[in-house]
């Protein structure tokens, strides 16, 4: 029997205290709720818990343009009125507002995903979890869809130092456009996104016909779905496609974005997935026994996000959780029933059997076009980031450089 997986979990309480503003659907507070639920179920006792380092600007600039990173670093709510041209250029505004501690928020969630990738690379764990990460819409030079820094791309770039091929899987209700775009021309990363497509649904990309270009042709896979997909059709389709992808592509590591806006009852979503259905995807991916980096993503009914990611933490730990939610700081959010399971959605399922079958056939057909597992000449491994020089006098002595 395989030894039990070693799991690293990254969390910084500061990430849950930022505020996007009134009426904005993104509530980072959901991360505090998730963490407290994980604690209430005693799951922390089965994992190694780390506080991530705050990613340096030079680390963020491994993907993002230096000018964009610099602007995010400088801009504050008080000064933004002076920079209307730049705000427009970098797509900051209504969806992606400038708020207090924005840059530090980005540094923490990106640092978590980078640290997760490094621990996997150094074989210090088998699975690494960063529920604060998964901000898949951010582009090289601009913010998009509530995302400013694309931590997933940064984590994948880190994994590519040690792995010839990395598989990215996205089960957020929105297309993983930022990650797909970053790796659209390479066969070193295969991106697979299951998402709602059509009816002008954000971000409007992710057609089954978008398959990558040049060296990346056939290495982007899109599974466009309609409103109301349920557990049975989603998990069956997921298992069929992902099993074939792993067999054909033979990745050295997997990154799984677990956006919880694909759950029934999400404020912005339109699927009918139960938490069990969503978590089944995590279970399927875990069974491949490959180094696995798991992140959060979207999710706008925050008590359900916390339920979902707690259950999925349990799945990764092979731990069944009792349905009755234990006493915790946020118990009132789960009232009156205080149960983990959520009711099934009631949106009509517009995904006919023939539609699903057609999509499946198209995806499997495209997969047949890839040469079995592309090889890559691995060069000498670039180092993990050298910590840039800093003046010790400027450092706050309370912020030690260690991880915990």
Q: Which of 137, 175, 195, 278 is catalytic?
A: 137
pLDDT at residue 1 is higher than 70: no
Q: Is 64 a catalytic site residue?
A: no
Average pLDDT estimate for 169-195:
98
CB 382 within 8 A of CB 161: yes
DSSP letter, residue 253: E
Distance CA 4, CA 391 (A): 42
- Tell me whether residue 56 is annotated as binding: no
Question: Residue 276: pLDDT band by 50, 70, 90 thresholds?
Answer: very high
Is the pLDDT assigned to residue 371 strictly greater than 90? no
Asked whether 347 and 262 are in contact (CB, 8 A), the reply is: no
**What is the percent of the chain where pLDDT is above 70?**
91
Residue 372 annotated in ligand binding: no
What pLDDT is attached to residue 271? 98
pLDDT at 317 (0 to 100): 98
Q: Is 145 annotated as a binding residue?
A: yes
Instruction: Write the DSSP string, 170-183.
Output: E-SSS--HHHHHHT
pLDDT tier at 335, thresholds 50, 70, 90: very high
Identify the burial level of 287 via C-beta atoms within 10 angstroms of its C-beta, where 0-12 means exposed, 13-18 middle and 19 or more buried: exposed
Q: What would the mean pLDDT of 261-270 be, rounded to a whole number? A: 97
Residue 155 has pLDDT above 80, yes or no: yes
346 has pLDDT over 60:
yes
Do residues 51 and 12 touch, judged by C-beta distance below 8 A?
Answer: yes
Instruction: State the residue for tokens 């999925």.
Output: 312
Average pLDDT over residues 353-376: 87
Round the average pLDDT of the chain to a whole number and report it: 93
Average pLDDT over residues 318-337: 96
Q: Taking residues 43-67, what's their average pLDDT? A: 98
d(CA 153, CA 118): 14
pLDDT at residue 243 greater than cutoff 50? yes
Q: What is the pLDDT of residue 5?
A: 87
- Sheet containing 253-257: which strands, arranged edge to edge? 48-50, 7-10, 127-130, 292-295, 253-257, 166-170, 189-196, 220-225
Whole-number Å distance between alpha carbons of 297 and 342? 19
Nearest to 263 by CA among 310, 217, 198: 310
Q: Is 375 annotated as a binding residue?
A: no
Q: Which two tokens stand for residue 397?
A: 């002595």
**Tokens 């259950």 found at:** 311
pLDDT of residue 391: 44
Neighbours of 308 (CB within 10 A): 32
**pLDDT score of 242:** 98
For the stretch 13-52, pLDDT in tens is 999 999 999 999 999 999 999 999 999 999 999 999 999 9
Tell me which residue has tokens 């503003």. 21
261 labeled binding residue:
yes
Q: How confident is the model at residue 393 (pLDDT cuts 50, 70, 90)?
A: very low
389 labeled part of a ligand binding site? no
Which tens digits make up the pLDDT trace of 95-120?
999 999 999 999 999 999 999 999 99
CB 121 within 8 A of CB 156: no
Q: State how far Cα 259 lies from the chain centre.
A: 6
Q: What number does CATH give the domain 7-369?
A: 3.40.800.20
Domain residue limits, the chain: 7-369
């Amino acid at each position: 029997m395989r030894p039990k997986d070693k799991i690293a979990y990254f969390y910084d309480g500061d990430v849950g205290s930022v505020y996007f503003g009134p009426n904005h659907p993104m509530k980072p507070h959901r991360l505090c709720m998730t963490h407290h639920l994980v604690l209430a179920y005693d799951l922390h006792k089965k994992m190694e818990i780390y506080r991530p380092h705050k990613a340096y600007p030079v680390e963020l600039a491994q993907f993002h343009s230096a000018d964009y990173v610099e602007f995010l670093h400088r801009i504050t709510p008080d000064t933004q009125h002076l920079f209307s041209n730049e705000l427009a250029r970098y797509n900051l505004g209504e969806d992606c507002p400038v708020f207090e501690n924005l840059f530090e928020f980005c540094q923490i969630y990106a640092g978590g995903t980078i640290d997760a990738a490094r621990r996997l690379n150094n074989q210090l764990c088998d699975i690494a979890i960063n529920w604060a990460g998964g901000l898949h819409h951010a582009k090289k030079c601009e913010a998009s869809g509530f995302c400013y820094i694309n931590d997933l791309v940064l984590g994948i770039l880190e994994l590519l130092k040690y792995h010839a091929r990395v598989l990215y899987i996205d089960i957020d209700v929105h297309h993983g456009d930022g990650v797909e775009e970053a790796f659209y021309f390479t066969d070193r990363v295969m991106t697979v996104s299951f998402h709602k497509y059509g009816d002008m649904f954000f971000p409007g990309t992710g057609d089954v016909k978008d398959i990558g270009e040049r060296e990346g042709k056939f290495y982007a896979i899109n599974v466009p779905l309609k409103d109301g997909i349920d557990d049975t059709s989603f998990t069956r389709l997921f298992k069929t496609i992902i099993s074939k992808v792993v067999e054909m592509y033979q990745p050295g590591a997997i990154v799984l974005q677990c956006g919880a806006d694909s759950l029934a009852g999400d404020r912005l979503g339109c699927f009918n997935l139960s938490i069990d259905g969503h978590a089944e995807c995590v279970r399927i991916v875990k069974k491949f026994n490959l180094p696995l980096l798991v992140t959060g993503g979207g999710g706008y009914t925050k008590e359900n996000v916390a339920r979902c990611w707690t259950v999925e933490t349990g799945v990764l730990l092979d731990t069944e959780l009792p349905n009755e939610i234990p006493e915790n700081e946020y118990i009132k959010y789960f009232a009156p029933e205080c149960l983990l399971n959520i009711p099934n959605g009631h949106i009509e399922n517009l995904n006919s059997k023939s539609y699903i079958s057609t999509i499946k056939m198209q995806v499997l057909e495209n997969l047949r076009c890839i040469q079995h597992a592309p090889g890559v000449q691995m060069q000498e491994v670039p180092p993990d980031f050298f910590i840039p020089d800093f003046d010790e006098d400027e450092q706050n002595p309370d912020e030690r450089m260690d991880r915990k």
